[in-house]
């Protein structure tokens, strides 16, 4: 099933606008935009936040409608595409084929307990950012950095040969 509805938050907050360029995008499988209460494959909606060490702002809500948990692999394509730019998706559960597809797109699936509050998870990520991120989060941050245009010049100065 394709995206049924996509709500993008536009609040005119210049602080939030500047943050979106450097913040991490996190997705949460949620029906109420407050708790993680969905399995990835059958999630009816995702709420996406921009998060940095000090702030978090809701960016958008994506709705898909009702889906069965099993039996429709095509639904994964649309969900994963909708999460483009996110570094992680938090859900109650995620199947092995979805895990492989998410990781291939650079999105880390994170399994959490049913009903965990989105605000608590955001605070946890912010704490990690301030104190030293876990391995998956460090990889995601590194992957978001643009390639250094001088990297080949530096290799040449180091004596790099083909």
pLDDT tens-digit readout, 123-140: 999 999 999 888 888 888
| Position with higher pLDDT, 114 vs 72 | 114
The pLDDT score that the predictor gives to residue 14 is 44
Give Cα 86 distance to the centre of its chain.
3
pLDDT exceeds 90 at position 83:
yes
Q: Under DSSP, is residue 27 helix (H, G, I), strand (E, B) or coil?
A: strand
Kindly report the backbone phi and psi dihedral angles of residue 62, in degrees, each rounded to the nearest multiple of 5, phi listed first. -120, 125
User: Per-domain residue ranges for the chain?
Assistant: 5-157
Tell me, what's the pLDDT at 150?
Answer: 73
Q: What local confidence, expressed as pLDDT, does residue 5 receive?
A: 83
**Percent of the chain residues past pLDDT 90, beyond the cut:** 55
Return the sign of the alpha-carbon dihedral for residues 120, 126, 127, 132. positive
pLDDT for 141: 81
User: For the chain, give me the number of helices (H) and strands (E)?
Assistant: 6, 6
The CATH code belonging to domain 5-157 is: 3.30.420.130
Q: Which single residue is written with the structure tokens 């990690």?
A: 128
Q: Which of 140, 73, 62 is closest to 106 using CA atoms?
A: 140
- For residue 161, pLDDT over 70 is answered with no
- Tens-place pLDDT, residues 53-75: 999 999 999 998 665 555 555 77
90 in Cβ contact with 24 (< 8 Å) = no
Residue 121 has pLDDT above 70, yes or no: yes
| Pair of tokens at residue 67 | 């889906």
The more confident residue out of 112 and 144 is: 112
DSSP letter at 31? S
Q: Give, rounded to a whole angstrom, the gap between the first and last alpha carbons of the chain.
A: 48
């Amino acid at each position: 099933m394709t995206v049924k509805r996509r709500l993008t938050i536009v609040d005119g907050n210049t602080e939030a606008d500047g943050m979106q360029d450097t913040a991490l995008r996190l997705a949460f499988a949620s029906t109420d935009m407050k708790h993680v209460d969905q399995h990835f494959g059958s999630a009816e909606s995702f709420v996406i936040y921009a998060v940095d060490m000090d702030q978090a702002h809701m960016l958008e809500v994506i709705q898909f409608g009702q889906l069965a948990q099993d039996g429709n692999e095509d639904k994964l394509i649309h969900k994963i595409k909708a999460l483009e730019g996110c570094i992680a998706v938090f859900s109650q559960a995620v199947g092995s084929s979805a895990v492989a597809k998410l990781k291939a797109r650079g999105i880390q699936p994170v399994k959490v307990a049913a009903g965990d509050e989105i605000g608590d998870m955001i605070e946890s990520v912010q704490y990690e950012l301030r104190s030293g991120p876990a391995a998956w989060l460090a990889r995601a941050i590194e992957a978001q950095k643009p390639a250094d245009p001088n990297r080949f010049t530096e290799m040449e100065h180091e004596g790099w040969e083909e």
